[in-house]
A and B are shown apart, each in its own frame.
Chain A
Amino acid sequence: MPFQMTELAFLEQLAHRFSLPVPEYLTASATRMKIRDALQRWRGKGVVKADVMSGGRGKAKVVTVVEDVQQAMAQLRRLANAEVGGMHARTSYITQFIPADLQVYSAVTYDSRFCGPSLTVSMKGGVDIESVEERHKQTIPVDVFKGLDAYQASQLFEGLACPKPLISILSRTLVSFWDMFISTGMRMCEVNPWRVGPDNAPYACDFKAVFDEANYKLKEADLEFPEYPESATEFEEDMAAWDASSYRGQAHVSELGGDLVLPILFGGGAGTIIAETLEAAGGRPIFLSDFGGNPPYERMVGTAERCFRYHLAGASALLILGGKANNTLIDVTFQAIGDALARHFEERGRVEIPVVIGRGGPRMVPGFLAMRETLESLRLPYVIFGHDTPVTLVAEYAARLAKFVKTRKEARRAT
């Protein structure tokens, strides 16, 4: 998953660094006494929230207003284990309740229409921005070199009929907001809402950001990204670490929850199409993968070994499929996959599974022969297609074959 950040990490690491006004907060580890004192300071009202990597409507269920310490403690305990849309909370925290007459939405992101950064603002914050009518929100491009200036922001607020006394402070706040965006290598950040109270001061009351791993500023920002318990399966975590261990060749996987076809796929584009075709044809792919980018032998061996270790035993067909490669050397990748398969059999025992292969590209002929030799020596059934057979047809065939094998397996087990 890309580097992301939600409100608690923002409160802990970013808000003060960029002088962004935020409510006071305490984490779930705070003592009862500290919470009681804080509630007194906050005029008896706090907001308990789950720290969960999820946004949108479902998140409202894990935000609750509390008015005394008993309620606060109970809600902190409850929400520390909350779940939203399959995502589990990491912890919970309590923030000062900000009474507000006005809620403002703001986001900075890179926008395909301008091919650069843009700022979106609405005076109808606190709700899903997609549900806000177009006339109530405005998006403007921001010069990536010069950045956002307060005048530009004030023009935007004027256009949205922002109360005049607020324009100056909101504009200055958005300039700091932009500074945070551009200084830390973000791809997108959103505050929804800024709650503006009777004192005309805005407070950032929810936050999310996505960072650009390719941006050197992210490394220099020295941020800590909390780990969320449900964000990846063990296989995904293992593969993510393996992927990050080298820049040569990709090792991306995302589990899809299927149980039939184990797909070793090459190329992001082809991989997506193949996974869709498998799914549509009932092939229930176990995961989505992209192992392209011309991986060297050791890289491909390691990738294949991990796939086999986690999923070969439960699969009903092994599919090795990609389009006609431009750079990826077929003999290197196929020899590596074959060797990993042979090693898996030696170390973990044989698996009876048909292998369906489709590929084209540099050094395909020795690659196919190496793979065929391995499959012959392992005595596995196989079908190998060249690049003249469309990948989607191969995927459909693999799906049908896997379904047959699974049915046969189940029938045998029943007898």
Chain B
Amino acid sequence: MNTPSPSAKKPAKTGGTRKAPVKRPSVKAVAKPVSVLIIGAGFAGLGMAIQLQQAGIRDIVILERADAVGGTWRDNRYPGAACDIPSNLYSYSFAQNPNWSRSFSGSGEILDYIHYLVSHFNLAPYIRFKQNVTGLNFDENAGLWHASIEGGDTVRARAVVMAQGPLSNAIFPDIAGLEKYKGHTIHSARWDHDYDFSNKRVAVIGTGASAVQIIPELVKQAGFVKVFQRTPGWVLPRPDFETPEWNKALFRKFPGTQDALRKALYVTHESMALAVIWNSPLTRIAERIGRLHLRRQVKDRWLRRQLTPDFRIGCKRVLLSNDYYPALQQPNCKLVTWPIDRLSEQGIRTAEGIEHQFDCIVFATGFDVCKTGTPFPITGLGGRALHDEWARGAQAYKSINVAGYPNLFLTFGPNSGPGHNSALVYMESQLDYAVRGIQKILDEDLKMLDVKADAQAAHNKAIQARLANTNWNSGCKSWYLTEDGHNVTMYPGFATQYALQMRTLDEADYRRTPMAGG
């Protein structure tokens, strides 16, 4: 694997005149409040720190619950883990990497890129590892957030950025008898690298984005693999190629060429919104490509039927794979579509009355995306609890602020999810917006910058009206929706529209309370 040596371009930022020295802020309760607390040291948290730093804000603490940076890419190290968006687009525009080894890089290479960000932008001094935040409370008299940390410490901060990541809490499926199974279990997001799969009988539960990457690798290693599928997803071909050396050299020598490729990829992905987000003639074409891919790779009619999705493409996450269908047809692999009844001591009982016995069960069952709550209690003005307010579905203003929780900025907040483009493109818009908000708080010495409830309500009314016409809300069950079918995760539009939405911080939509006499 190549060690990335990306060509970092320092974005020109204005307005940040603060010259705070980079020092290790203490995490003791008695310590002076910091300007910005960032929770999480994944792509979002580190990107936030870089952007704040570029804006001249260096009084930052990043609290990370694990002992390493990387977030999703640190946790998801299962065999075959890779990104579904081309690496030249799944990276920050202000820190491009000319050395990506493939068009869709693996998790190890992405993690290397994240480590590169830390070292190149000198972020290490900000980061505190093994600091698990257990609660956030806003002190409205002082205009400070108090972050409680497991073990008793507290960090106080003028502003907080939630960068804990939407895909950070692995979940196990709601299957009866889960505790009864006595064999080995592995969750895709907590891979057991010491487990030897050779000659083992392995079950994989789930056929989503992680599973289609894991299964081809497991089939190569294990004795026999049974894949338990509830709903087949749309699988499209993955145009994954090795990057020739001349290409890397070109990008290194003429960074403009990489910029041009990134822009071309961006526009291509934007056009995919027409197929994936809304029901259009392009949707039919995308579905036809999916069916052709299936027909070309699977000859058996019954297996093809089992793998044919019965929902509109885009309603659930679109999968990209060239080797998933061939892996399912290997002699040591079998697709099981019978409903799972329960887990027994030795395996999985399905409704056709058979107990499928295994040495190991791999749960590729995804994450708890916190659609109706918060990862830890967050208490805002007047003791209001965000968990309660979001009990029927999360909502925010422009995905980033929530009324009643001043000086709090969300990354990957409600209705910020892309279905067709790089999450990092959306992320950059959020980071820019948060920098503007935080600059305002610090420069104008605001005690509170709180979005108005009516502005938030108007924003959400418009978003929900637009979501009603999208493929995500066309009737399938997916992790994008709450139990009662409310879409709180996805942004119903182009990435360009989202960027426009985030380009201005409209002061009229905020209540500003100055520190003095506030």
**Same complex origin of A and B:** no
Binding site for A on B (CB under 8 A): none
Binding site for B on A (CB under 8 A): none
